[in-house]
Structure 1
């Protein structure tokens, strides 16, 4: 077997194939007494396995485990002064999609929504599958106004996506609950669980307001309001 490190790895190979190849090469090198290179391949296999454990297998977005690690890790304590936004995103009436078009179409919808949510995110932000048809967007170092713009742009992008290309009659929208916390408030410590609960409450308010909306906290009036839908955008849904 070839053992010229990365030269033995086929470009574009799936992660599972790369993992197996690293392990196989490490075994060959170990039997030859080349412990340094065997260790290199075992470490590569470990890194691939760890990276894979943080990804959702269906959508390839990050998973709940990665989200939890980030929210409870040092990144939260070192966020920039503008603060961090957490948005919980839920596909509207997704059960109807599965019931009407089947679970294979439902799976494709989930994959495409994940791709659409990740488009246009700032480099430091990420999308994670929170569970079922629910996703989370984490946007660090952002003020509240920009966070609302990012979330609403994602909502419009999903509504305007040409879903009928998948199946005639298919349309998909999302509802979003957006919670923002600013580090500019000295008495406000990073409490990710509280912020998630707030985003979840706002998500349900967006649902009750008619779906296909972003709900967020209006700081000036201390009211929770739905971000209004642009009536022209539904033409592409």
Structure 2
């Protein structure tokens, strides 16, 4: 069976013509909770918690950290930019060195494409997700360090893996073509990343590595949602190119 990563080369020429059903944005909510010193609207955080109205000691009104979760997603979930929680594997990773090198460079490709898109177009989603991709790179670099794998020197737009160099070069053409084309590249990259992370989770045999990959998949799912929502704002929709339709639908958070 062809690896997910190789499908991207075949799919890049067709993503501009994808015509799927639309998916919308996830709602937001401010946090509410007890204890504090004055009443203020909830401030959205990654998990929907925040500062909110409450009664302090002695029943005096006041503000303080809200302790209950808000009724919806926090702002970073809506934007697909919640920071990745760093998980340090207890034991050395069981992923092969070649897989680790490829995975690190794969994250660099995504980050570099998004940085270019952020510079080319006035869409903040690219800048935000580029920062998250840098966190993904750091997480995989940590795994590589656990088994003393030497990684290629990082340079923007330059990769030691020929396959990834071609992927970056071909994708860059679309990124510079239009905002919609750039967003489609982003959605395809994240969809492919999810499939690849699931594949790697099947290769790894230690719980530490699987936990890191699971957190990365969660973040990539938020990124995919962010790109799909951004396309919807342009009146465009995105059709799954890598994942099965039912798997894709299960990942997309509907509007409202």
Q: Which has the higher helix share?
A: 2
Q: Which has the higher strand share?
A: 1
Q: What's the TM-score bracket when you normalise by the shorter of the two chains?
A: under 0.3
- State the TM-score, normalized to the length of structure 1: 0.28
The structure with higher relative contact order (CA 8 Å, sep 6+) is: 2
Give the number of the structure whose alpha-carbon radius of gyration is greater. Answer: 1
